[in-house]
Amino acid sequence: MEFKYLGQAGFQIVCDQHIFLVDPYLSNYVVTSGIGDAEHFSRAFPAPIDPAALRGIEAIFVTHDHADHTDPDTLLPILKNNPHCVVIGPQPSLDHLKSVGVGEGQLRLAHAFKKESIGILHFTALPSAHYGLEKNEATGEYAFLGFVLEVDGKVIYHAGDTILYEGMVENLKKISDHYDVCCLPANGRDAEREAMGMIGNLNPEESLALAWSLGAGLLIPMHNDMFKINSLDPQRLDGFAREKYPTQKVKWMSPGEVLDL
C-alpha cells in the first residue's frame, strides 16, 4: 500500500491499483471562495498533484463541509474525469457538492458507526467534534466525521478535524482492536485564533495521547502546514513525544511524500 500525503488533511491511498482520496485540498479555494483572506489563507506550497490529471479514482472521502476539506475546485475536476468515482461524506458536504452541480450518482452518505464497503476498501465513519458533536436530530446523522479505513489488512484512522470528546477512544476501540496508522490534526486551538473565526483541533499533546491510547503503529500529524496562521511548531509535538511517549512512532510527512505501508 502506498500512502501519499497531499498537504493539510489530504491523503491518497493506492492499494493493488485501487486509488482512494481523503480530504484532498489541491486548490486555493479558501481564498478564491472569499472565506479567507489572501494574506493569511493562501496556500503555503503548490498542490503536489493536479486534480485534473487524476485518473482511476474509486472514491473520495470528505470529513466535513469546510473549504479545506470539501473543496469543489479540487473535487469537480476529479469527478468529471472519473465518472465512476463517488464522494463519501456527511450530508452538509454532499449538499454543498450537489449545489455546484455534482450528480446524485456520485454522492454517497456516510453513516456513523456502520461498517460499509466500496471496492476492496471497508470503512466505518464515526463522529468528530469540531467543537461539538453536531448532529441532525431529525436524521441522526453527524456533520463532522472521521473514517476508519481497512484495506489489505491495514487499518487507518483519519480523524478529520476534531478535539477529544467523551467516548471517542471507546468508539474507536469498538471499530478495530488495532490501528496501523492514525492521521490526527496537531495544529491545536487557542483564544486568539478562535477570535479570528478559526475552529481549532487537537493539541499536539492530545494527538499523541490519542494515538498512544489506541496503540497506533504510527502517528501522522496533519492539518499543520497549509496556513502558517493556523499552525504550531512541530517541535512542540516532537519534544512532548520524546518526554512522554518515547516509543510512539511519529512521521511528519511532506506534501507529495509517499509512505510504503
Residue 163 phi, psi (nearest 5): -115, 175
d(CA 84, CA 147): 21
Q: Average per-residue pLDDT in the chain?
A: 97
Cβ atoms of residues 145 and 88 within 8 Å: no
Looking at residue 175, its pLDDT comes to 97
| Span 221-242, pLDDT tens digits | 999 999 999 999 999 999 999 9
Place of cell 446524485: 104
Looking at residue 138, its pLDDT comes to 87
pLDDT < 70 positions in the chain = none
d(CA 120, CA 15): 9
Predicted TM-score of the model (pTM)? 0.97
Domains of the chain with bracketed CATH: 2-253 (3.60.15.10)
